[in-house]
Amino acid sequence: MTGSAEDEYRVVAAGVEKAFGANRVLKGVSFTVRRGTATAIIGPSGSGKTTLLRTLNALDRADAGVIRVDDVELDFGTPVSKPDVRRFQSRSGFVFQGHNLFPHRTVLQNVIEGPVFVQKRPRDEAVAEAVALLDQVGLADKQDRYPYQLSGGQQQRVGIARAVALKPQLLLFDEPTSALDPELVGEVLSVIKDLAVEGWTLVIVTHEIQFAKQVSQQVLFTDDGLILERGTPDEVIGDPKEERTRQFLDRILNPL
C-alpha cells in the first residue's frame, strides 16, 4: 500500500490484526478516513473499538496489516523500528478516557509538555499557543491550577488542548466522556464539535450515539473484532442494514 500527503485520505488501514494471547481482538480490519472529516467508531463493549483506535497511534502495535497516517506508513507484517514508530506516533494526538494529566504540573505545564520537551519547540512560542488553546476550550483562567483543582470535564478539556498543542494531523478520542458525570458531558462534546467544524481529522470511539450522528461524516460499527457496517450517520445509525447493528442501536437508543 502506498500513499502520500497529497492523497485524500489521512488514514488508510488494511488487514489490521491484533490478539492478546488467544483472544483475537481485531480480525483483519480495513477502513479509510478522509482528511478533514470525523469518523465515529461505535459498538458493544469488547468489540475491539479501543484496540482499533490504539493501533492508529501504535499504543497497541498491530500483529499484522498496514496502517498509514498522513505520510507515514507502518507494515506490521515486517519488523518495525523504534524511529519509524516514533514518526508514526508523531502524526496523531491521543485523548484518553481518564485524562492522564500530570498531577504535579499545572494546566499550562501539562499543555506545553509535548511541544517543549518532545518537539523541542521554543518555550515562549509553546506557551503563547497553549494560552490561546486554553482560551479556546474555556479554561483561560485555569492555567495555573493543578488537575486535582479541576472538575472531570475541565480535566478532559485540558487533555484535548494538550493533544491539539502537538499540531497533529489526526486526533484520536477514546470514549472521551465515559468517565464524566452526565452534567459534564456536554462541555467536552462541545469542544470536540468545534474541532470538527474547524476541519481537524478526528477518529472518535464513543457510546454517545446522537453525538456521533451530529459530528461525524463516517460511522464504523464494530462487533467481535470486525467492522460489520460503515457509512454515513444517516446510513449506519438512521437506517442500518445489518441486524446486529439494529439490535445494538435499539438497545442503546430505546432502553427499557
pLDDT digits (tens, 9 = 90+) for 28-66: 999 999 999 999 999 999 999 999 999 999 999 999 999
CA 41 to chain centre: 10
Specify the pLDDT at position 256.
66
How many Cα atoms occupy the beta-carbon half-sphere of 41 within 13 Å?
A: 29
- Residue 9's identity, in one-letter code, is Y
**CATH code of the domain occupying 1-91+169-184+198-256:** 3.40.50.300
| Contact assessment for residue 186 and residue 156, using Cβ atoms and an 8 Å cutoff | no
Could you report the per-residue pLDDT of 60-112, keeping only the tens digit for each?
A: 999 999 999 999 999 999 999 999 999 999 999 999 988 789 999 999 999 99
Residue range(s) occupied by CATH 3.40.50.300 in the chain? 1-91+169-184+198-256
Backbone angles phi, psi at 209, to 5 degrees: -65, -45
Angstrom distances, CA of residue 144 to CA of 121, 136, 140, 149, 150: 21, 16, 9, 10, 11
Helices (H), the chain: 49-55, 82-89, 107-113, 123-136, 152-165, 182-198, 209-215, 233, 243-253
Given a cut of 70, is residue 149 above it in pLDDT? Answer: yes
pLDDT band at 3 (very low <50, low <70, confident <90, very high): very low
- Bridge-based pairing state of the strands 92-95 and 170-174: parallel
CB atoms within 10 A of CB 78: 8
Give the bridge partners for 66, in sequence order.
14, 75
**What's the mean per-residue pLDDT of the chain?**
94
Q: Average pLDDT of 112-117?
A: 96
Contacts of 192 (CB under 8 A, 6+ apart): 160, 173, 176, 202, 204, 211, 215
Q: Are strands 9-20 and 170-174 parallel, antiparallel or unpaired?
A: unpaired
- Local confidence band at 161 (pLDDT 50, 70, 90 cut-offs): very high
73: nearest Cα among 62, 226, 49:
62
Q: What percent of the chain has pLDDT over 90?
A: 90
| pTM (2 d.p.) | 0.94
Q: How many Å separate Cα 66 from the centre of its chain?
A: 18
Higher pLDDT pick, 55 / 8: 55
